Amino acid sequence: MSTPSVSVIITSCDTKDLLRQCLASVVKYTKADTTEIFVVDNASSDGSPDMVAKEFPGVRLIKNNGNLGFAKANNQALELMRGDFALLLNSDASLKDKTLEKLTAFALRNQAAAIVGPRLVDGNGATQPSTYPVLTVWTELLRTLRLYKLFPGRLNARLFLGSFFDHKTSVRAGRLTGACILVRKAALLQVGPLSEDFFFYGEVHDWCWRMLENGWQVWFCAEAEAVHLGGQSSKLKWDSAQRLEINLRERERLMARHLPPASKWLLMALGGFSVLTAYTYRALSGKNSAEPAQATALRAEAAWLWRRFTGTAAWFLNRSAPARAFYASTLHKTMFIGRLSALMGKPADEITGLMAESADLRARVQAGWEALPVKPARTGMLDFGSAEIIYALTRLLKPERAVETGVANGISSFFILSAMQKNGKGALVSIDYVPENGPSFLPEGKQAGWLVPQELRPRWELITGRTSETLPPLLARPGQLDIFIHDSEHSYENMKFEYAAAWPRLKAGGLLLSDDTGFNTAWLELTRSTGAEAITYADKLGVMRK
């Protein structure tokens, strides 16, 4: 049997010294004629790309202008790989003698194996638990209620893997730690690359789960061994509390993707019960005082779960019939305009008049939509109440430069550009992205922003692509922003990213606007972190002034 070719892929962000050690091990313990090596650098500022180019000239180096995350960075190399297998290797991991040979030999013996992971050891040679079962309600119930204490060790190792398992024998697993994994190209081509919905943590677990759902297997190979220092890159970027929150969010995202909603929330409730039980026991036994860091972590996890449950309950309440009736009422609109008047330092009558000025725009949008022969089931349209507020704010502020993310059919773009036309000044740059195989809000045959008439387009620049890639270079252009509007993907991660990127680029007195602020806690966290005054219209449109 011929030796399979392997594409080694290493992603890195500001881990130059670790990356050097990692690459040295790969060069030492692989064969040049059957191995290609990629390094994908996520905008390191520590000289990592220069080090790779100088010390490892045979490595294929991909340099990104921003931190695109683990999944996106690996996918860039996966698209270019020529090997029969890909070895995804963290920059804080390194190979040992025969690691790659043993992994590929194991994969060749087990043709159904899509992903194979070695035994991971830390710098002192101690085994790191790296195997996990498929999440199920029953195993989580057994774990949460501590019923595993009644079971023999062998049964626990089979059910739960992880720290219950000694990692001395090769076994099939549900999920693996992603520090070092061998992936079969045939499985990759069938199932697809890493999901870029995950930024950091969770993407490999999701990949394993998808492989299983498509009839492939995930294996832990005990005879192969790799060194993993663990979390070195993330420790440079996030403190322990931030890493915990990211882990919890990605775990929820993983469950939401692969489990029914009822199962996801039941597992999260069981997790909350487990945390409270552990904290109570530790408090009664004095362990919380002896180990304050663990007590802090448990409190943080409990607080996060509480916010998720209460936030979700609030989301449903805000979309209940009584709430919708209130938000649609003249009373709510009057109250909001009063608060907007105080925020902007302008008379309420002036704001109301400018909002009324946009009535013709609403009629034009409705006429264009009704003229469509076939309408999409989902429109992605900004509601007209929010649109007329954005129009009025654009008229009031008279911006020179505005940026929005998310265009779809182009209602917000149409209203902003119309206000700029009325002002006789200003330019709008919009970013729009339609994910492959994702939901499309556009009618058949229409392009993003089709509602924007030709006479307004000289003021408009439309950029296509993910905001994670296109927004940083856009904001780096000379000059500050007068207005930034978020209306793209409303995930917590994306909203946090866009807010954090745009806020420093706003002028004093500038506006940060966001649609669908009630989707998660990102807007609330922004108001707390900036200390800026903010108001919300109908649990949807957020307005914050710098």
Residues 405-441 have pLDDT tens digits of 999 899 999 999 999 999 999 999 999 987 655 556 7
3-class SS of residue 103: helix
Q: Is the dihedral of CA 233, 235, 236, 239 positive or negative?
A: positive
Between CA 385 and CA 402 the distance in angstroms is 20
Asked if residues 96 and 29 have their Cβ atoms less than 8 Å apart, the reply is yes
- Kindly give, in sequence order, each residue whose CB lies less than 8 Å from that of residue 435, ignoring residues fewer than 6 positions away: none
Which pLDDT tens digit goes with each residue over 465-504?
889 889 999 999 999 999 999 999 888 878 999 999 999 9
Give the Cα separation of 178 and 86 in Å (integer): 13
Tokens 């204490």 belong to 149
Residues with Cβ within 8 Å of residue 314, at least 6 apart in sequence: 518
* Regions of the chain where pLDDT drops below 50: 1
What's the Cα-to-Cα distance from 504 to each of 470, 493, 501, rounded to whole Å? 17, 18, 7
* Sign of CA pseudo-dihedral 358, 360, 364, 369: positive
- In this structure, what token pair is assigned to residue 5? 């070719």
Token pair belonging to 429: 């740059």
> So what's the pLDDT on residue 1?
40
Residue 131 forms beta bridges with which residues?
Answer: 176
Q: What is the pLDDT of residue 447?
A: 87
CA distance 419 to 391: 6
Q: Which amino acid is at 483?
A: I
- Asked if 539 contacts 336 with a C-beta cutoff of 8 angstroms, the reply is no
Using DSSP, state whether 402 is helix, strand or coil: strand
The string of DSSP letters for 432-479 reads: E---TTS---SPTTPPTTTTS-GGGGGGEEEEES-HHHHHHHHHTSSS
What's the pTM?
0.74
- 444, two tokens: 């058949």
User: 374: which residues sit within 8 A by CB, 6+ positions away?
Assistant: 443, 444
- 64: which strand partners? 42
pLDDT confidence of residue 200: 63
Helices 137-144 and 261-285 pack at an angle, to 10 degrees, of 10
Distance from C-alpha of 110 to C-alpha of 182, rounded to nearest angstrom: 13
- Residues 259 and 256: their CA atoms lie apart, in Å, by 6
CA distances (Å), origin 111, targets 103, 133, 162, 430: 12, 21, 25, 47
- Note whether 461 and 428 are within 8 A (CB): yes
Residue 192 near residue 210, CB atoms below 8 Å: yes
Residue type, 56: F
Between CA 252 and CA 194 the distance in angstroms is 17
Question: Cα separation of 133 and 164, whole Å?
Answer: 11
How many Å apart are CA 408 and CA 488, to the nearest integer? 9
